[in-house]
Amino acid sequence: MRISVIGCGYLGATHAACLAALGHEVVGIDVEEAKIQTLRSGKAPFYEPGLNELLQKNNERLRWSTELADAASCSIHFLAVGTPQGQQGLDLSALESVVRGLAGVLQGEDHLIVGKSTVPPGTAAHLESLCDIEVAWNPEFLRETRGVEDTLRPSRIVIGARTARADQLLRELWAVPIGRGCPVVSCDRETAEMVKLASNAFLATKLSFINAIGNVCVEVGADTSTLAKAMGLDPRIGQKFMHAGLGFGGGCLPKDIRGLGHIAEEVGATSAVGLLRHVDAVNARQRQRAIEGLGDVRGKRVAVLGTAFKAGTDDTRDSPAIDVASQIKAAGGTPCSYDPMAPCDVDKLEAALRGAHGVVIATEWREFAMIDPAWARGLVVEPLVVDARGVLDKGAWQAAGWKVVRLA
């Protein structure tokens, strides 16, 4: 099949490369010239394990362009542009602009537009009214640092289509993973649009739940990690998303729970509104608890270890680590950040630690778990560490003279 992917950020570039790996002819389109030039060179403009290799290996089936007109030679058109959180919910203006543009360049009746972005229910029908081209929804379920794997070997494929033709086209497009036994859920478009929002809201809820329970554990002397492990052995609960700490961030979970909360408020689903607001509030509270663990930071230098929202990526969108650094600064302290991959203040761990009156482990990089506490003790002014990700050997650090504060 000949496919266009409009929007070549994290989702779009990964999606385009994976579709090419599945044997399709793909053109990726984005308005940013620098991004397109990077992709043409066989490199991604962001870090994602395995993506550069995929781009280079499938180069003959991949084209990159800044011109929407280059989509005209394709029959299926994936929308992978952003839907940022706005004052009135998720902002659909970029999607609307792309669809209007496609309406001006696509000829004939054989085209299908397919949404990948996170949107409120009713978006596909709305976009279809703008272009008179059928719009289906095939939500993505990518995890950053696992994007290639999640696209090539998805846990499920959800197809929201108005017609049997659209459903069949998407089943043909995903024939390889379907042939491997990947479950397919065919449904109406509104359900497909809701699936992604509801899935992310559930994951966020699970994280806020274990953080809230972790707060109780701290007060009663229970071990949160052991509790989470024991709970997770119940197959109804599972081990994933049960790690208490600084909370969630990134470009999806925070945005999606707020977007879903706005939708719930619009339709008067007050129980959902209250639940989602509380999930968000618990998450924000974890960041504040990290600051409280440092005590008075006025006039003090604090090493913030990590700026990425999680380990394995250079993505700092809605990063808890960045938020913690900002709160330290607002409280009169001087944060100094180090991250092995994401943008930060200094390029060496030692430089961040030297002269610090406190340390926050804000991203769960293995490098931080492997720090020699005796070595680090010789660099800091005050041996106080807030292990906001639960990665340190508390006993070893205490034996080296550190005060160790955990959030859960």
Name the token pair of 145: 């640092």
Rg (CA), the chain: 23
Among residues 199, 187, 110, 191, which one has the least CA distance to residue 150?
A: 199
Helix count (H) and strand count (E) of the chain?
Answer: 17, 15
54 class by beta-carbon count within 10 Å (0-12 exposed, 13-18 middle, 19+ buried): buried
Write the DSSP string, 55-118.
HHHTGGGEEEES-GGGGGG-SEEEE-----EETTEE--HHHHHHHHHHHHH--SS--EEEE-S-
252 catalytic? Reply is yes
Distance CA 394, CA 407 (A): 13
Q: Which run of H or E residues covers position 406? A: strand 403-406
Q: How deeply is 370 buried, as exposed, middle or buried, from its count of CB atoms within 10 A (0-12, 13-18, 19+)?
A: exposed
Catalytic residue among 8, 18, 252, 336: 252
Q: Which residues contact 47 (CB under 8 A, 6 or more apart)?
A: 313, 314, 341
Pairing of strands 89-90, 85-86: antiparallel
Identify the burial level of 116 via C-beta atoms within 10 angstroms of its C-beta, where 0-12 means exposed, 13-18 middle and 19 or more buried.
Answer: buried
Region of 127 on the Ramachandran plot (φ > 0 left; ψ -120 to 50 alpha; else beta): alpha
Measured distance CA(173)–CA(26) in Å, rounded: 12
Question: Which tokens hold the place of 392?
Answer: 């340190």
Residue 377 structure tokens: 């003790």
How far, in Å, are 117, 173, 175, 394 from residue 152 at the CA level?
A: 18, 12, 11, 39
Are the beta carbons of 204 and 279 closer than 8 angstroms? yes
Q: Which residues are catalytic?
A: 252
